[in-house]
Amino acid sequence: MTATADQKSTDKATQQDAPTGARRAARGPAWLSAHNLERFALPGAWALLLLVFSAILPENFATAGNFQNIFGSQAVLLIMAAGSLIPFTAGEYDMSIASTMSLSAMTLSVLNVQHGVPLGASIAAAIAVGLVAGAVNGFFVVVLKVSSLIATLGSGTLFLGIVYWMSNSSTVTGIDRGLSTATAGSRVLFGLQPQFFYGLAVAGIIAFVLSRTPYGRRLLFVGQGRQVAHLSGLKVDRIRAGSFIASGLVMSLAGIVYAGSLNGADPSSGQSFLMPALAACFLGSTAFVPGRFNAWGTLVAVYFLYSGVVGLQMLGAKNFVQDIFYGGALVAAVALSQAIRHRNAATRS
Amino acid sequence: MISRRPVGSDGELVGLPGRSEPNVRLQNVSITFGDNKALDSVSLEIPAGEVVGLVGENGSGKSTLIKILNGVYRPDSVTRLFIRGEEIFPYEDPSAFRRHGISFVHQDLGLVPALSITENLLHERILHARGAFINWRAMHREAAGLLARFGIAADPRQPISTLADTDKALVAILRAVEELGPNKTLLVLDEPTVFLPRSGTELLFGAVRKLLDEYDMSVLLVTHDLEEVIENSDTIVVLKGGRLQSVLPAESATPASLSERIVGRTVGTGRPVRAAGPAETVLDCTGLVSGRAAGVDFELRRGEVLGLTGLAGSGFEDVLPAIYGAAPRGALARGIVYVPADRKTEGGMLEVSVAENALMPRLGALSGPFGLSPRTLARHGRDFVERYDVRPSDPGKDFRMLSGGNQQKVVLGKWLDTNPSVVLLQDPTQGVDVGAREGINQRLLEAADDGTAVLCATTDYEQLALICDRVLIIEDGRVVGELAGADVERNTIAMHVMQGHRGTDPIRKVG
């Protein structure tokens, strides 16, 4: 994202703007630096995990079908985790992501299934609901000045209540076939479901926005120094509120994919995405650009965590291992990212 | 009421052998930091029932002396400290001072705003109360008694935050006296009146006198305000460069004589006056009221460096935030930029790289068709650290890893790169090392030569003397004088700031 360690050392060596080849040559000997080890520790750990499980379970784990499952089934989680990065970068928590996602999925299902609204209009309504949910969060945090952690925990419960209300606490199925075909139906490439590519696209767009656009930097500046940002002329409150609206928008996309993959919506299962998404964000912030929330790190973290869950389940662990694994990973990831920050403060040069 | 001691011909006190032991006696207090003797054989006595005023410039050793009495610094071994005749140094444990009845009221008062008056006043006893329950009724009754005795009209149950500033300061003093416990020796008041109105200061010292009458204690008053120290002390101690400059009875002191002792003889060195023709006014400030600024008027012209100074609490610190802080976007749109005093929360983002901090105002312009490329950021970052001589010259480093001086170069450079028409600086050399200071001053002068107007609010007289064309002195929230030409000189500025102009002729009335 920004000038990273290898570039820095290169920059010092070649003060002028050297051609790319020369740059790479200068970078060569330094690739095994401690900083690089750290940046690629998470992808490395993931690769190791895949190798170990493949070695233990050659019959089950190391199969094309399993890998198609691992990659294909986590699109909703990936979209949600990537969307959470936006408020996180602006220094805010959005704990309502799971409820917002469920709210969008349920809106789509109820409109399409129970009221016969065409699929396109139902999707538009689902997106609108996500935007409104984000705006409500923004209002609580920026106008009413409630801490975002509390405000979004509250609004998340509120949205969930609405989900139960409009669904009569029951599962709604039977959405227009078009949606499930477009998300989980056919296998497009490498035997992967289309939703995998949707997740990849959303993660890619968010990665670009966060790291390469002035808007992404502004989010970061607001998150890292609200007063500095204000004194530098940024519209801090608008950016903070906007981060919730953007998050709401992305959650509605996740909701649409979720509804497609289930061919409907159920009111409660969406909640199980909250902790894994947070765990992936924090774990991802230890990779590639250590100390900063970033989308590619989050993507690797999503698949790292899910690979672990799948492997453990294949080894005979029961369903509860998922909760233990994701919960533990969240705490471990936060502890790790804090350790990196403290270490950075003490020694990084 | 006030014991006066005989005065020698030179106006200094004559030692009186055989006189009763003072509450606190300091002998040969010395302390060395590295090669620097911050205090060099300072000896002084603080007799019971007296207020001893301690004055000196920043860096004269005042606060070091207080920190020795506080146990923060351990003085050199030649030092001898006596409390009521008992030698307490070398001590095992700095809490010796506390046990011997010394307590402090600092400028920030150290009260907890959300807690009740009683909880603040009697916190020591409440924290260490024995038994399972606190007898709140008795506590409140006792607090109410204290409040009544010192004329504070308030319910002890109400939170501190509801009190007026003067009453807060009074509560802080009463609390410090409470903390002293049964043996009350010395109350150190470290600029307690900076934020008080004139009437509040009088009330406060009324209370101090009452305390002195009641208990066998003494007061050490540290302040920058010379009138205040003359009015309210019995003896005044002047420190200069870590040494005892003089000890004199307050009644024989005047602000002029005192500031001369503090600053030293004024030598009108003059300075190279920058060629300044008549230039258009770029900022016209009339009747600015904000915080303690109570009607500040001035004009800032193109290409000029204007200084704003005064005592802490005089209101000079409130001018720039009022001009800029309320609506940064509006100010920026007019080409006004602001270098704030607090670099860590207002100037820069600690965990963001130098390049990103520096390029922040220009991100939009640097963004290409594929957004902000890391290469572009790195190139401009390199260029930036080179131009502003930021060390270490690594634009990828986190802002917090830089020294204060280099952080300030980044903040200043970030704004100078936007070609501003006005640069506002609040205390720009605070915590900045000498080398970086020079660089910053150089930058400011260059910017002024290019037509930028610079307005610098600081108590760093040295810096003002080095860069300013004019210096405005603010007192009680108003501009009381203007120094220009050869008068823009360190000691002259210090002298005018310290002497005060209440009721006297201003040097030159402006506006």
3-state secondary structure A82-129: HHHHHHHHCCCCCCCHHHHHHHHHHHHHHHHHHCCCCHHHHHHHHHHH
- Contact (CB<8Å) A232/B340: no
Residues of A in contact with B396 (CB under 8 A): 2-5, 7-8, 11
Instruction: Give the residue from chain A lying closest to B338, CA to CA.
Output: A231
Q: Which amino acid is at A60?
A: N
Per-residue pLDDT of B409-456, as tens digits, reads: 999 999 999 999 999 999 998 888 877 888 899 999 999 999 999 999
Note whether A258 and A97 are within 8 A (CB).
no
A interface with B, Cβ–Cβ below 8 Å:
1-5, 7-8, 11-12, 15, 17, 208, 211-214, 217-218, 220-221, 224-225, 227-233, 235, 291, 341, 344-345, 348-349
Q: Which has more confidence, B269 or A60?
A: A60
DSSP summary character for residue B14: P
Confidence label for B502 from pLDDT (cuts 50, 70 and 90): low
Domains annotated on chain A, with CATH:
39-348 (1.10.3470)
**Rounded Cα distance, A233 and A220, in Å:** 14
Q: CB contacts < 8 Å between A and B, how many?
A: 102
Other residues' Cβ atoms within 10 Å of the Cβ of residue B249: 17
pLDDT of B193 strictly over 60: yes
Q: What residues contact residue B97 under an 8 Å CB cut-off, 6+ apart?
A: B69, B70, B71, B83, B88, B91
Domain residue ranges of chain B, discontinuous segments joined by +: 23-101+185-267, 113-179, 281-510
**For residue B36, what are the β-bridge partners?**
B33
Instruction: Give the residue from chain B lying closest to A222, CA to CA.
Output: B349
* pLDDT at residue B19 in the model: 54
Instruction: Tell me the percentage of chain B whose pLDDT exceeds 70.
Output: 91
Question: Best interface-test mutation with B: which of A15, A211, A224, A231 has the largest number of B CBs within 10 A?
Answer: A231
Q: Which of A75-84, A147-156, A177-186, A248-257 shows the lowest mean pLDDT across its residues? A: A177-186
Three-class secondary structure of residue B287 per DSSP? strand
The mean pLDDT of B14-43, rounded to a whole number, is: 80
Distance from CA of A18 to the nearest CA of B (A): 11
Please state the φ and ψ torsions of residue B420, each to the nearest 5 degrees: -75, 160
Q: Is the pTM of this model over 0.90?
A: no
Residues of B in contact with A217 (CB under 8 A): 356, 360, 363, 372
- B489-511 burial, b at 16+ Cβ within 10 Å, e below that, comes to bbbbbbbbbbbbbeeeeebeeee
Please name which of B335, B98, B22, B53 lies closest in space to residue B222, comparing C-alpha atoms: B53
Confidence label for A134 from pLDDT (cuts 50, 70 and 90): very high
Q: Which helix (H) or strand (E) holds A329?
A: helix A320-347
Nearest CB to A217: which of B324, B325, B363?
A: B363
Nearest CB to B349: which of A3, A221, A341?
A: A221
* pLDDT at residue A63 in the model: 92
- Contact (CB<8Å) A217/B395: no
Per-residue pLDDT of A312-349, as tens digits, reads: 999 988 888 888 888 888 888 888 877 877 776 665 43
* pLDDT at residue B157 in the model: 94
Confidence label for B318 from pLDDT (cuts 50, 70 and 90): very high
**For residue B189, what are the β-bridge partners?**
B105, B221
Please write down the long-range contacts of A34-39, taking CB distance under 8 Å and 24 or more positions apart.
Answer: A35/A4, A35/A5, A35/A6, A35/A290, A36/A5, A36/A6, A38/A286, A38/A290, A38/A340, A39/A4, A39/A287, A39/A288, A39/A289, A39/A290
Please name which of A296, A271, A274 lies closest in space to residue A286, comparing C-alpha atoms: A296
Instruction: Tokens for B311, please give them.
Output: 């005592």
* pLDDT at residue A104 in the model: 98
Please name which of A149, A136, A108, A110 lies closest in space to residue A278, comparing C-alpha atoms: A149
Q: Which of A289-303, B129-143, B273-287, B496-510 shows the lowest mean pLDDT across its residues? A: B496-510
Note whether B338 and B390 are within 8 A (CB).
no
Instruction: Tell me the percentage of chain A whose pLDDT exceeds 70.
Output: 89
Distance from CA of B442 to the nearest CA of A (A): 24
Three-class secondary structure of residue B351 per DSSP? coil
* Spatial strand order in the sheet of B24-33: B36-46, B24-33, B80-83, B86-87
**Rounded Cα distance, A95 and B368, in Å:** 35
Confidence label for B259 from pLDDT (cuts 50, 70 and 90): confident
- Contact (CB<8Å) B345/A227: yes
Per-residue pLDDT of B479-499, as tens digits, reads: 999 999 888 888 889 888 987
Residue with tokens 């009260």: B111
CATH superfamily, domain B281-510, is P-loop containing nucleotide triphosphate hydrolases (3.40.50.300)
**Can you say whether residue B41 is alpha, beta or left, with left for phi > 0 and alpha for psi between -120 and 50 degrees?**
left
Confidence label for B181 from pLDDT (cuts 50, 70 and 90): confident
My answer on whether omega of the bond before B90 falls inside 30° of 0, hence cis, is yes
pLDDT of A32 strictly over 80: no
* pLDDT at residue A25 in the model: 40
- B64-102 burial, b at 16+ Cβ within 10 Å, e below that, comes to bbbbbbbeebebeeebbbbbbeeebbeeeeeebbbebbb
Residues of B in contact with A285 (CB under 8 A): none
**Rounded Cα distance, B26 and B16, in Å:** 16
Residues of A in contact with B367 (CB under 8 A): 213-214
Residue with tokens 């912030």: A285
Per-residue pLDDT of B61-88, as tens digits, reads: 888 999 999 888 999 989 999 998 888 8
Instruction: Give the residue from chain A lying closest to B325, CA to CA.
Output: A231
CATH architecture entry for B23-101+185-267: 3-Layer(aba) Sandwich (3.40)
Other residues' Cβ atoms within 10 Å of the Cβ of residue B197: 15
Residues of A in contact with B379 (CB under 8 A): 17
Note whether A41 and A286 are within 8 A (CB).
yes
pLDDT of A11 strictly over 50: no
The mean pLDDT of B50-54, rounded to a whole number, is: 95
Three-class secondary structure of residue B46 per DSSP? strand
The rounded Cα A18 to chain-centroid distance in angstroms is 36
* pLDDT at residue A345 in the model: 62
Residues of A in contact with B418 (CB under 8 A): none
Nearest CB to B355: which of A2, A228, A348?
A: A2
Q: Which of B101-105, B238-242, B368-372 shows the lowest mean pLDDT across its residues? A: B368-372
Per-residue pLDDT of A148-205, as tens digits, reads: 999 999 999 999 999 999 999 999 999 999 998 898 877 777 788 899 999 999 999 9
Distance from CA of B349 to the nearest CA of A (A): 5
Distance from CA of B396 to the nearest CA of A (A): 5
The mean pLDDT of B464-488, rounded to a whole number, is: 92
Three-class secondary structure of residue B288 per DSSP? strand
- Contact (CB<8Å) A231/B348: no
Please write down the long-range contacts of B150-158, taking CB distance under 8 Å and 24 or more positions apart.
Answer: B150/B174, B150/B207, B150/B210, B151/B203, B151/B207, B154/B117, B155/B117, B156/B116, B156/B117, B156/B118, B156/B121, B157/B116, B157/B117, B157/B118, B158/B116, B158/B117
* pLDDT at residue B411 in the model: 96
Nearest CB to B353: which of A2, A228, A345?
A: A2
B23-101+185-267 with B281-510: one CATH topology?
A: yes
Nearest CB to A224: which of B324, B351, B374?
A: B351
- Contact (CB<8Å) A2/B351: no
Residues of B in contact with A11 (CB under 8 A): 378, 382, 394-396
pLDDT of A10 strictly over 60: no
Nearest CB to A228: which of B347, B371, B400?
A: B347
pLDDT of A234 strictly over 80: yes
DSSP summary character for residue B321: I
* pLDDT at residue B2 in the model: 45
Note whether B393 and B385 are within 8 A (CB).
yes
In chain B the first and final C-alpha atoms are separated, in Å, by: 46
The mean pLDDT of B135-153, rounded to a whole number, is: 91
Residues of B in contact with A344 (CB under 8 A): 398
pLDDT of A14 strictly over 70: no
Per-residue pLDDT of B194-235, as tens digits, reads: 778 778 888 899 999 999 998 989 999 998 888 889 999 999
